[in-house]
Amino acid sequence: MLINLKGKDIICTQELSVPEIRALLQLADQMKKNRYNPQFSSLLKDRTFLMFFYNPSLRTRISFEAAATELGGHAQFLEPKTMRLKKTRGGIEVQAGETIEDAAKVLDRYACGMGIRILETSVDNYGDGNALLREYARWMEAPIINMADDKYHPCQGLSDIMGMQQHKGKLRGRTLLMTWAHGALARSYCSVHENLLISSRLGMNIRLAYPRGYDLPPEEIAKVRKNCSENGSSFDIIHDPDEAYSSDVDFVYSRNWFGPDFYQIGKDKEIARAVAMTDWICTEERMKRTCNGLFLHPMPLDRGKEVTDEVASGTRSIIIDIAENRLHTQKAIMAMTMAGLPVKLETTEG
């Protein structure tokens, strides 16, 4: 099967077909094994990839810049404060400026693609960041790549899966424990959503653990349930931090996320509430109850709160491998969507 993603926006992996996901992972694996192979180093020669950052980053900016360079192109960093863009709040214009339509049409003439990073602290309501990406995608012919918004993080999800496959092979039938953890960062849903969606899409059993009051958005849970149902895999929700860890768990993803009322109560109150629930932490004792379980996390880690140092820096941790994978999955995305590199899919399982 030949997979072609030329011109396709990558906003959430749920919007890709399973063969498209597998093709991206297959190409990323080839690129990792042959990092500086000439067959890849000129795919974006003399082309510019725009990176639009509403929020700062470490891995995202560096990995995308490195990806563009290794494909023979150039990544250009943009910030909203350097552009005269119209600002609205609740549908009301609060600062005059250029519309997304006009800006997008101009940027389309300059670049082969654009990545956008806009998290919860840069929007007034849940979903506004994702809506902004889709508005740019509406007006641009060049592909839009989601570099993390307030709902999804496809590059991270693909990198998680790549790391999980590298360490345990085929994932269908294996069990992922996604557990809430206390912490002082009031994290958004994007990485959590993406991992749950892509893992369930590829046939994994999902166990979701969190304290009452930290429910994820129901529309995303409905998608995960549907993915599991279609694959014949299990989906369970548990509200006990100890019960979640058991002998059938292959992977543990311990991550803080804010409660559904975050946009009403604000970051300070959310942090004060979350840091008090100290029993919700990934420890070596808990990891020992799993099936040689591996620890994953998108980083940055809130060490001592989301996970102990013993686990994060131990042999069970694959977080650095996954962080490296961001470079390779993003190269694969850029090669397929911007350079139009087709991929002959070698397997339908993974």
Q: What's the pLDDT score for residue 95?
A: 47
Q: What's the pLDDT score for residue 82?
A: 67
Between CA 177 and CA 230 the distance in angstroms is 19
The domain limits of the chain are: 2-152+326-344, 154-322
SS3 at position 188: coil
User: What CATH superfamily classification does 154-322 receive?
Assistant: Aspartate/ornithine carbamoyltransferase (3.40.50.1370)
Same fold, 2-152+326-344 and 154-322: yes
Residue 283: burial class (beta carbons within 10 Å; 0-12, 13-18, 19+): middle
Parallel/antiparallel/unpaired status of strands 235-238 and 251-255: unpaired
Q: What's the pLDDT score for residue 350?
A: 60
Query: What DSSP string describes 87-110?
Result: EEETTEEEE--B-HHHHHHHHHHH
Tokens 């998290």 appear where? 119
Q: In 57-137, which ranges are E strands?
A: 74-78, 87-89, 92-95, 113-118
CA terminus-to-terminus distance, the chain: 15
Between CA 180 and CA 211 the distance in angstroms is 7
For residue 241, the 8-state DSSP code is: T
Q: What is the pTM of this model?
A: 0.95
Query: What DSSP string describes 199-240?
Result: HHHTT-EEEEE--TT-PPPHHHHHHHHHHHHHHT--EEEE--
Tokens found for residue 77? 């960093």
CB atoms inside a 10 Å sphere around CB 36: 8
Backbone angles phi, psi at 81, to 5 degrees: -65, -15
Q: What's the pLDDT score for residue 347?
A: 75
Parallel/antiparallel/unpaired status of strands 251-255 and 294-296: parallel
Q: What's the pLDDT score for residue 348?
A: 63
Parallel/antiparallel/unpaired status of strands 343-344 and 2-3: antiparallel
Backbone angles phi, psi at 74, to 5 degrees: -135, 135
Q: What's the pLDDT score for residue 81?
A: 77
Between CA 334 and CA 328 the distance in angstroms is 10
Per CATH, the number for 2-152+326-344 is: 3.40.50.1370
From first to last of its 350 residues, the chain has per-residue pLDDT tens of 999 999 999 999 999 999 999 999 999 999 999 999 999 999 999 999 999 999 988 899 999 999 999 999 999 999 887 666 655 544 444 344 688 999 999 999 999 999 999 999 999 999 999 999 999 999 999 999 999 999 999 999 999 999 999 999 999 999 999 999 999 999 999 999 999 999 999 999 999 999 999 999 999 999 999 999 999 999 999 999 999 999 999 999 999 999 999 999 999 999 999 999 999 999 999 999 999 999 999 999 999 999 999 999 999 999 999 999 999 999 999 999 999 999 999 976 66
Contact 9, 144 (CB under 8 A): yes
For residue 168, the 8-state DSSP code is: H
